[in-house]
A and B are shown apart, each in its own frame.
Chain A
Amino acid sequence: MTQKNRLASGGRIDHQRPLNFTYNGKALTGFHGDTVASALLANGVDIVGRSFKYSRPRGIMAAGAEEPNALLQLGATEATQTPNVRATQQDLFEGLVASSTNGWPSPENDAMGFVGKVGARFMPPGFYYKTFMFPQSMWGTYEKFIRKAAGFGRSSLESDVDVYDNINQHADVLIVGAGPAGLSAALAAAKSGARIILADEQSEMGGSLLDSPALIDGQPADEWAVSAIEELSSFDNVMLLSRSTVNGYHDHNFLTIHERCTDHVSDCAVNGQIRQRMHRVRAKWVVLATGSHERPLVFGNNDIPGVMLASAVSTYIRRYAVAPGNKLVLMTTNDNAYQAAFDWADAGHEVVAIVDTRANPSGACVEAAKSRGLKVIIGSAVIEAKGDKRVNGVLIAGIDEVGEKVTGSVEPYDCDILASSGGWSPAIHLSCHTGSRPVWSDEVIGFVPGETVQKQLSAGAINGSFSLESCLKEGTEQGLIAIRNAGFDIEDRSAPKTAPVNEDRAMALFHIPHTKSTSRGPKQFVDFQNDVTASAIELATREGFESIEHVKRYTAMGFGTDQGKTGNINGMAIAAKSLNKSIPETGTTIFRPNYTPVTFGAITGRNVGELFDPERYTAIHRWHVEQGALFEDVGQWKRPWYYPKAGESIQDTLNRECTATRESVGILDASTLGKIDIQGKDAREFLGRVYTNAWAKLAIGKCRYGLMCGEDGMVFDDGVTACLGENHFLMTTTTGGAARVLSWLEIYHQTEWPEMEVYFNSVTDHWSTATISGPNARKVLAKLTDDIELDAESFKFMDWHTGTVAGVPARVFRISFTGELSYEINVSANYGLAVWEKIMEAGSEFNITPYGTESMHVLRAEKGFIIVGQDTDGSVHPHDINHGWAVVDSKPFSFIGKRGMKRADCVRPNRKQLVGLKTKVPDAVIPEGAQAVNDFEQPVPMDMLGHVTSSYYSANLGRSIAMGMIKSGLSRIGETVYYPLADGRVIEAEICSPVFYDPKGERQRV
């Protein structure tokens, strides 16, 4: 196909650099500098998709971010499939593969189009709320059909191969938009030396200057823009970001800029490059120079391909050398749009007529049109477009002065392109993100930023200052103010000069009348992407949806990926009129981030996969990996779970590990337990306040188990704390609770008891901890130390000693979580692996066996030791878990948790209590999480007694063991409860003591 709509010269494209691309499988050619949209228009592609609800053919309507129709699927490979790419914002590149997203077999000949034509009548807004209800069971089936119509493009089915990045920026002034206002703001501010970021969504900066016929300081506007950008790029303190959309404006002047680094080159970034980058900007001051969006007019069949925004027609001609048609009709409410007709004529094409809705337009452009010999029809409007897959004519009629009624006769005209302009809506999106409410201006015929809540200024069309002259002036002024507000001195600078234009007032017209009523006339689209029509809005208001929010939600207006950029104001105005209210009385329009959609990948940056959350390894990690350990995630830690040998099932491994520990010696990497170094003269008193048990008398060299509760009395953490010196303690916490406990200690110290002299420091990472456990533990340790007396008298259970282990200074704690003779050998983390390997060597004659967290769980459960977080859940206090022995109410200070656990509900008789559970069938293991009942034949809902918290097969005992909560369990020892399982089995268990092994605790004291 030739580029039938391409002009022979002109535009900002490179006519010498053709680019090949495919659209719906057809090979097409465009030029370097094209967008996909301009290239498609150049190639005469009229239909780019089918509408969402009615399957109507749709063409390209706009040339920028406001385009509602041209959403394409992009990507040459599965991994690079990108849905919903807006063709007007996607640069063309060699080899680009694009396709339309709706329409089968093709958007030109869509089978659903028939349904749309016939069925549209039965699909008023909210029709789905009124039907598909009968019979109840059928909704799932109806929904399947509804979902088939869902979505535009499709997600890739493969993982993305591209890399995305986040970068933090601190700016003195961030200027959003590099049109006339933004460029003049940047020029005014640049010399200050302040850090300035100028961001613009387009591939080339300049905004409206790139297709403006005006002169600035004697230069053509586009040339002036190029030299302005050149000047700015000579400043080291100015960062210019093109293809970079400021998509969100958050609290305290935090903004995000979505930069597309390689999307204009390929659908897949080449090696090492970043596809997209999110700039996370903290700016002292922000200047919004975001411009405005042209409003299309709402009239009959205004969605037929070939109906475009007036400014888009100009842009395609002037910037891309594309004239998408031959015979133009222009309809406008304002002077500005006349340029489209002039450009059209200058491109050598026929202007059929300029239809001006105003009764007596008198601006300079009207004169210019007349002097060019163009036909201007005033006081009239295009009330309906004609055509099927492309406009082939219009109906023009006279209208009254307020634009509410057709007054004259209806005249048909032939044309193949229809441009319309209803004026311009300031792009206030970012200003709204901050919570600032926009205000309606009759002067502007649009919403402008209201009272600001951030350090924010705005310049140019966003304020409704649409003329080039005022954009340049406001830009310069606001740029200077911003830079001074940010604390910089700078000389005044005069605004760039351009000739003022004599413009007549625009007409506030949002809905072109028709000879038929809105409900009976042809469809008049307001929100093209969501197929919302004027009659839908009127119907919504008739049905009582009177708040604009209701209207929007009922009709889905403004909920598309264009977020109502072209439709919202028209829709509000139609609703207001229908309700007999003014626009500001009807409500306001609030935009939320994002201004335009942002790739998930750009938001996540590199923070996925292993960087999603840091992985913490102990010093011995490499050894575990080499031994084939499987790992368990505990908090951020990777802990060895178990060490399977070839051919072993998990149960085989556990049996081997547990047996070896009880019979000889096992070794556990306990480095992950939280360790907090506590010092200061009040350290001991502090412990007494945060633990439930007593600490006043713990002697230097001794360790003690402590239980920690919240103020509600519920168990929150536990661990062993050692007295290192009179004013010095080392607290251990659970692996997952370390950070929480440290913060807990700090908050009480800093906010409640600042008078106490005590200091906390996390030393978890400083130490590597190898726990050797089992009857031969002493023998192993003896081979590695000659300065620690190990006999039972010199080194008692719950003592700790310093000395040298494997040639390295060590702290050795004789504490036990297995119930066996155990030593926790702590060495500086740097020595951790070496010492571990020495221990393995020394232990080899005793078949020293590494065990992981799973065997640790079994061994401790044999002893009835709890794990906070597994056997407790934040709803149990110490007495509930039979740990009353660790609560010392007689302490003088009312320790944390004491009052809480005495509340009425905490002392009621039938609370759940932690008990042991012995299955009647010895090798039946109750699944953890199983719920106990007294009567397993009771119909649902059943009376549940409590759940199993820990349950294992114990090789040492040759039977299963379990712990669990049972209502009043401690007084039901010996009784039977039942566990009805999902598979229909019922496991019978006897309530017993949770201490299954060595109930007197002799083995750990040998």
Chain B
Amino acid sequence: MQRYSGFGLVKHALSYHENWQRVWRNPTPKPKYDVIIVGGGGHGLATAYYLAKVHNITNVAVVEKGYLGGGNTARNTTIVRSNYLWDESAHLYEHAMKLWEGLSQELNYNVMFSQRGVLNLGHTLQDMRDINRRVNANRLNGIDGEVLDAQGVKEIEPMMDCSDRPRYPVMGASFQPRAGVARHDAVAWGYARAADALGVDLFQQCEVNGFIKEDGAAIGVTTKQHGEIRAGRIGCVVAGNSGVVAKMAGFRLPIESHPLQALVSEPIKPILNSVTMSNQVHGYVSQSDKGDLVIGAGIDGYLGYGQRGSYATIEHNIQAIVELFPCFSRVRMNRQWGGIVDTTADACPIMSATPVENLFFNCGWGTGGFKATPGSGHAFAETLALGKASSLAKPFSMFRFHDGALIDEHGAAGVAH
């Protein structure tokens, strides 16, 4: 792999940038791989990378129906945090956080992980109880965080209206200083480039349209563009289409796919310091390095694969942001878009064996998948390498929806995204 550095940049400038190598190859498929990853988004690419890097399994193919990182990786609001309530999710997301902290160097690709801190606002007494509960749990799990009062929030975000004026005044917040944002595309590209360098074959515009089974076990996939490709194990990481791919394999998932919308303002001069999230008023906002306010809220209530949602959701979202930051009223919304998120009943993911032998699924990240990318890839790679759930992945079996061992981040933490 051609190494990236400031020095390299200068060197290439002298040859007019004509000699940069390709970031990844355009390989031809082999008949059989040890592992096929279906889905070339951030999670799938990270899985492939860690399979090669950590488990030395390099005979791996990533099969992507569109372009790499073109699904939810390209459509999220890039928030990274690990302040989850329950031990199972806290451990998983904190594992991801630790990987984030060295990711640019690990991949030799600047993913611009910016630890600007995340505020989760509380507007009611119950919000504050939940915040205290979560921050205490985080602290005892070794995750950074503190509880702030309204004044403390104001010190971090001076433009926020922390007075009594808003309909739901800000009472306080949890603050995780190590949390922040990252450059979403770079994560996919960085993992892809690094995985490719370790020998992983990446196939774009290659759509899986079926599974090859033998004695009830999956032994390969059929693809529209390259026909049959066989594999020892198959991992599906196809957020937004998990239900569709599961149906090909012959089972259902405890998942519903919903539109999740986001939007950006025009770029403005730096005015926000951190990431602000509020569940009570339904909105979150951060400012990108380019100056856009990056804004999102909750899912649309109906099933949808259209990568579009309802305008009313956008309206409520912007109302919430203007309610928190009245000075943004004259800023303008540039662009909105939608992704498809696979939601589970407990707002926690599925990393799991399935009713089909050799076939594993990594899905159900709902609105919070981006932040987990390195941890998800790491844990899922181990799962695929072992042929059974890794210790981090174990609580996230799809069969918890049978026995009731849900990890209810919805009800308990009251924090989405």
A residues adjacent to B (C-beta < 8 A): 80-84, 121-122, 124, 127-134, 136, 139-140, 143, 146-148, 150-160, 162, 164, 248, 250-251, 254, 256, 280, 435, 517, 519-520, 535, 539, 542-547, 549-550, 553-554, 556, 559, 561, 563, 592-594, 597-601, 603-604, 607-610, 612-613, 615, 632-634, 641, 712-714, 869-870, 873-875, 900, 903-906, 927-931, 933, 940-942, 944, 947, 949, 980-982
Contacts and interface: CB of A to CB of B under 8 A. Distances in A.
B326 interface: yes
B254 to A, nearest CB: 12
Closest 6 CB pairs of A and B: A874-B411, A929-B132, A151-B291, A903-B404, A160-B329, A150-B291
A542 B26 CA distance: 12
B140 interface: yes
12 contacts: A83-B332, A150-B269, A152-B268, A152-B269, A154-B268, A547-B70, A610-B167, A612-B319, A712-B404, A873-B412, A980-B140, A982-B146
Contacts of A929: 129-136
Given A159-B329, A256-B311, A869-B126, A543 B404 contact: no
B17 A539 contact: yes
A392 B227 CA distance: 59
A941 B140 contact: yes
Given A547-B205, A869-B126, 14 more contacts: A84-B268, A136-B105, A140-B115, A146-B289, A157-B159, A159-B327, A160-B330, A251-B310, A435-B308, A547-B204, A601-B329, A927-B132, A980-B140, A982-B136
A603 B322 CA distance: 10
Contacts of B115: 140
Nearest to A148: B270
A136 B102 CA distance: 7
Contact of B166 (A132, A594, A609, A981): A609
B45 interface: no
Given A154-B269, A519-B18, A134 B5 contact: yes
A597 B306 CA distance: 23
B112 A561 contact: no
A696 B5 CA distance: 77
Interface string B302-340: 000010101100110011111100111111111111000
A160 B110 CA distance: 38
Contacts of B315: 603-604, 607
Contacts, number: 329
A131 B9 CA distance: 8
A938 B55 CA distance: 32
Given A128-B112, A251-B310, A604-B329, A632 B124 contact: yes
A982 B335 CA distance: 42
Contacts of A607: 315, 319
Given A539-B17, A561-B267, A593-B335, A905 B404 contact: yes
B341 interface: no
Interface string B139-161: 11110001100000000000101
Given A155-B268, A873-B412, A941-B91, A547 B131 contact: no
Contacts of B411: 714, 873-875
A640 to B, nearest CB: 13
Interface residues of B, number: 116
A585 to B, nearest CB: 11
A440 B375 CA distance: 42
B222 interface: no
A709 to B, nearest CB: 13
B4 interface: yes
A579 to B, nearest CB: 11
B137 interface: yes
A940 B141 contact: yes
B266 A561 contact: yes
Contacts of B329: 156, 159-160, 162, 164, 599-601, 604
Contacts of B269: 83, 150-155
Interface stretch (B184-192, B233-241, B353-361): B184-192
Interface string B213-231: 0000000000000000000
B274 to A, nearest CB: 13
A553 B189 CA distance: 11
Contact of B110 (A129, A164, A256, A927): A129
B124 A633 contact: yes
A599 B330 contact: yes
B54 interface: no
